[in-house]
Structure 1
Amino acid sequence: MLAVASQAHEVQPTIGDLTVADGKAELVLRINLEAFLSGIDLDEIADTNNAENAEDYDALRELSAEEIEARAPGLLKGWNTLPLIEVDGTPVPLQSISVAVPRDVNIESPRVAEWRLAGDVAQGASQVIVRWPDGAGAMVLRQQGVEEPFTGYLDGGQTSEAIALGGGGQQSTLQAFVTYIPIGFDHILPKGLDHILFVLGLFLLSTHLRPLLWQVSAFTLAHTVTLALGAMGWVTVPAAIVEPLIAASIVFVAVENIYSSGLSRWRPLVVFGFGLLHGLGFASVLGEFGLPEGQFLPALIGFNVGVEFGQLTVIAVAAVLIWLALQAARASKLQGDEIMIQEREVLFRAVSITGSLIIALIGAYWVVERVFL
């Protein structure tokens, strides 16, 4: 855990805005160019620190924005071989029109560049497909300039469906809902380490189900509220404020686990307050992806359902691991079919204190990193 404590190198999807009009196909990418230039397999990792060639990424990250802008067009040769864009069955060779890498970004944070690509297409074309390369991670593809535009989510190696150039390819309510469930789940597992640790902190309070239900219900209600408000743009809080507070919430819950073995009356209220912060964090992710305007509500609900599935998966895995530990303790004591209730409580308490201490240390590291680094 300590090795992946920093989220500054978390892999985020590329955002692709596609426009085909007046004999031109234009694809504007919001992209982490250093990750692509280093050859990291973005399909396999959630954090660039965990890649085999992480040192190559770090070396590129230390280069100036001008040097990265100069290297970006080198990626196009392989992409045009796919090809990246095909209109009416004809490959469209793309050229680099402009590359803008942000300046003055903290060296520990990724630089999301805007890369504008364009190519000539025949007049009167009717449809386009986009192929996203293997190893490129996820891409959110958004059609621009038409009514009822297509919006899709491509993993590395996937090809979009045929997109009508005149529009009308907008997802149905059910399609939008289903599409955004895995996006929400993915933000918890494997990419949401801070949210995972917070949920584990809730789980480690007690062996009883009722305290867990109270806490998870409060957390879910709270983050659903601020996720919706943030996604609609009604509430906006800078990440520089939200992210340190999320880290602080992890520390608080973990430390309270160490000093308390039961649910206090005010803990659900505190968890609700922390849930509001986490919801703002989820909303910032949706802000990066963008929600389809015509299917905003089902996409938002789908994302939230995916988040809930991710949280329940974390709790389920933790519960299975605790059960296995109890089984091992029972076998070691040779007490037949059942280990004494008191001994189960002692074992869980030991796991709770140890796990909470680790969680608190990681959370404290994040607080310092997000405030001062």
Structure 2
Amino acid sequence: MDALYFELGWQHILNWEGYDHILFVIALSAIYLMKEWKKLLVLVTAFTIGHSITLALSVLHIIRISSSLVEFLIPVTICITALSNILRKDEEPQNLQLNYFYALFFGLIHGLGFSNYLKSLLGTQANIVQPLLGFNIGLEFGQLLIVAIVMLLSGTIVNIGRVSRRDWNMFLSSATFGIAFLMVVQGVRELLK
């Protein structure tokens, strides 16, 4: 694994300028508490697998999709995930296979967003396997840091603050949806230019 690309991966996911990816990980994490960390770990890993696939395909120039379309689709995935959290009837996550499918599928879209950044870093480098692996592992590490922060915050608010799990999910998911919805509107404007 390439340590430089590992560092670039986790720094990229934690960069506030790319807060769309942070919002998606928050939306994925919003319905989970610390006792469900294993389920969330698998969910985030499914997301990583999805974005690793399209990241590799894009860096290898096997697929090409307009960056403005990708920048529109990323906040759409956040809105769908947050809305799914809001419409959830059960407090505890159910139907995990569907959640894993969404995470994997939406990861495919997010990988296209990461690809432009990684392609600019790689330049004309011939061997991309090590940098790609390092970057993806760095992204996963960064995502897990976000998950840990959300889970600690959720645990504190639900267990210590005595806010109901449902109310916390509604607050966090609604805030995430609202921010992402504004990004969708901006994305539509960009597509219509």
TM-score (norm 1): 0.46
Contact 1:185 1:307 in 2 (8 A): yes
Of 9, 15, 23, which residue of structure 2 is paired with 1:190?
A: 15
Structure 1 position 326, deviation (Å): 4.2
Matched, 1:209 2:40: no
Q: Secondary structure at the match of 1:252?
A: helix
**1:310 matched residue in structure 2:** 142
Structure 1 position 255, deviation (Å): 0.5
Structure 1 distance, partners of 2:75, 2:5, is: 26
Matched, 1:324 2:156: yes
**2:3 matched residue in structure 1:** 178
Q: 1:197-220, CA deviations, whole angstroms, 9 ceiling, x for partnerless residues?
A: 111111112332344234213211
Structure 2 distance, partners of 1:198, 1:219, is: 10
Q: Secondary structure at the match of 2:65?
A: coil
Structure 1 distance, partners of 2:174, 2:160, is: 23
Structure 1 position 298, deviation (Å): 0.8
Matched, 1:353 2:159: no
Give the AA of the match of 2:94.
L
Structure 2 distance, partners of 1:244, 1:302, is: 27
Contact 2:26 2:147 in 1 (8 A): yes
Matched, 1:372 2:189: yes
**2:120 matched residue in structure 1:** 288
Structure 1 distance, partners of 2:113, 2:59, is: 10
Structure 1 distance, partners of 2:151, 2:126, is: 40
Task: Write out the 4+ residue segments of structure 1 that deviate beyond 4 Å after TM superposition.
Answer: none
Question: Where is the helix percentage greater, Structure 1 or Structure 2?
Answer: 2
Q: Secondary structure at the match of 2:128?
A: helix
Structure 1 position 295, deviation (Å): 3.8
Task: Give the number of the structure whose alpha-carbon radius of gyration is greater.
Answer: 1
Structure 1 position 285, deviation (Å): 1.0
Question: Where is the strand percentage greater, Structure 1 or Structure 2?
Answer: 1
Contact 1:292 1:299 in 2 (8 A): no
After superposition, the CA RMSD in angstroms is: 1.9
Q: How many residues align?
A: 183
Give the AA of the match of 2:140.
E
Contact 2:6 2:137 in 1 (8 A): yes
- Identical counterparts, % of pairs: 33
Q: 1:219-256, CA deviations, whole angstroms, 9 ceiling, x for partnerless residues?
A: 11111111111111111111111111111000000011
For structure 2, list consecutive stretches of 5 or more residues without a partner in the other structure.
none
Structure 2 distance, partners of 1:202, 1:255, is: 11
Q: Which residues of 2 match residues 222-301 of structure 1 at below 5 A?
A: 222-260=50-88, 261=90, 262-264=93-95, 265-291=97-123, 293-301=125-133
TM-score (norm 2): 0.86
